[in-house]
């Protein structure tokens, strides 16, 4: 906004000056009018500055959420080699880890309600880009692929290290995450260790086995969740930022829109190697950083003894219960002795 004079301020008897106000050339009849215009422009500038400040404050309150996903073999089609006892991955289609989909859905729900953006992150070979594009079709805003040969053979310790470094780099590049989401575990490893490992390395509060996010207070920087435990449901309140591992079945997975599908096809996946992710100590990645060694993978041996089936036709509940207890004690006499001994004591 500018105030430009084409002539100096002069007495009323002189030639009237022209002034440019808001990009328009205007002849002013009195210096008092000039003063009033200047005061008005200053007031408009102050109003605009206040609006910009409020906008910046509003943007600061928007959330940045990171969701860690993994591309895994479809467990319904996994086969074990009969000689080597290793998983045969050839020809087996890959999918997004099902537990991670519930984490992604919860992250999108939080984003839709509070505003902000969702970044999906995965570590894997170049083909893992397919999983990231699938996540974009659900509505994620950004995707980061952490891929490097140094990551090959990583166990949960090395994986959590690499992912935590990548999340820190995401914070430097796109804004510090308020929440990091993961699934409770993966279907190929079933360890449930990577999420807590990330939280430990990033010094985040970890909320595991979360069934529901009850509320988020951005002004107070707090979150309240419902967590399932063996004894029931726990209601926990924590500060942000935090890491959440989501349970399965917590929400219906949305269907991606056509607009998101087209955007996912056009989107550029951010690809980082170890150096670009800010990883300086390569010895903590891959096989060198993995103390866990898998000796053998095998399919369980089928039981030779078939299960006993109890006929419940025309029997009361008590009769069925008595027959069941008798059958158990018949097959496990030591159990009957143990229970009898503990009862007499």
Q: CA-to-CA distance for 270 and 12, rounded, in angstroms?
A: 66
Which of 284, 263, 282, 264 has its CA nearest to residue 274?
A: 282
Give every CB contact of residue 256 below 8 A, 6+ residues apart in sequence: 137, 138, 139, 264
Cα–chain center distance at 237: 19
Structural domains of the chain in order of their starting residue, each with its CATH number: 3-58 (no CATH), 62-289 (3.40.50.620), 305-339 (no CATH)
User: What is the predicted pLDDT for the residue at 45?
Assistant: 58
User: What is the predicted pLDDT for the residue at 30?
Assistant: 55
Q: CA-to-CA distance for 166 and 67, rounded, in angstroms?
A: 12
Q: For the beta carbon of residue 284, count every other beta carbon within 10 angstroms.
A: 17
pLDDT digits (tens), the chain, 345 positions: 444 444 444 444 444 455 555 455 555 555 555 556 556 665 665 666 555 545 444 444 589 999 999 999 887 777 776 665 556 667 788 899 999 999 999 999 999 999 999 999 999 999 999 999 999 999 999 999 999 999 988 889 999 999 999 999 999 999 999 999 999 999 888 899 999 999 999 999 999 999 999 999 999 999 999 999 888 899 999 999 999 999 998 888 998 889 999 999 999 999 999 999 999 999 999 888 889 877 777 767 777 877 888 888 889 999 999 999 888 888 888 887 788 777 665
* DSSP 8-state class, residue 7: S
What pairing do the DSSP bridges indicate for beta strands 79-80 and 87-88?
Answer: antiparallel
């Amino acid at each position: 906004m500018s105030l430009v004079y084409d002539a100096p301020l002069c007495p009323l008897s002189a030639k009237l000056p022209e002034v440019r106000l808001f990009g328009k050339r205007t002849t002013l009849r009195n210096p008092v009018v000039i003063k009033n215009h200047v005061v008005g422009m200053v007031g408009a500038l102050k109003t605009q500055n206040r609006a910009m400040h409020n906008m910046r404050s509003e943007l600061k309150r928007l959330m940045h959420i990171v969701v860690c996903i993994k591309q895994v073999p479809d467990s319904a089609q996994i086969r074990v080699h009969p000689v080597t006892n290793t998983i045969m991955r050839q020809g087996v289609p890959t999918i997004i880890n099902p537990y991670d989909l519930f984490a992604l859905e919860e992250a999108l729900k939080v984003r839709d309600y509070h505003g902000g953006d969702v970044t999906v992150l995965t570590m894997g070979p170049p083909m893992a880009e397919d999983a990231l594009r699938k996540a974009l079709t659900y509505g994620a805003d950004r995707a980061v692929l952490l891929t490097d040969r140094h990551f090959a053979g990583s166990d949960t310790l090395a994986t959590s290290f690499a992912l935590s470094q990548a999340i820190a780099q995401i914070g430097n590049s796109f804004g510090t995450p308020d929440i990091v989401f993961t699934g409770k575990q993966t279907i190929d490893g079933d360890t449930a260790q990577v999420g807590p490992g990330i939280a430990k390395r990033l010094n985040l509060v970890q909320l595991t086995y979360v069934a529901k996010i009850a509320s988020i207070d951005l002004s107070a920087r707090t979150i309240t969740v419902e967590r399932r435990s063996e004894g029931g449901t726990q209601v926990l309140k924590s500060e942000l930022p935090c890491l959440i591992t989501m349970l399965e079945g917590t929400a219906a997975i949305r269907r991606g829109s056509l607009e998101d599908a087209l955007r996912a096809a056009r989107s550029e996946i951010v690809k980082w190697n170890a150096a670009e992710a800010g990883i300086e100590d390569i010895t903590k990645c891959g096989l060198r950083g993995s103390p866990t060694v898998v000796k053998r993978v095998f399919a369980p041996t089928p039981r030779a003894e078939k299960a006993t089936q109890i006929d419940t036709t025309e029997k009361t509940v008590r009769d069925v219960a008595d027959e069941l207890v008798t059958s158990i004690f018949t097959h496990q006499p030591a159990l009957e002795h143990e229970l009898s001994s503990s009862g007499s004591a």
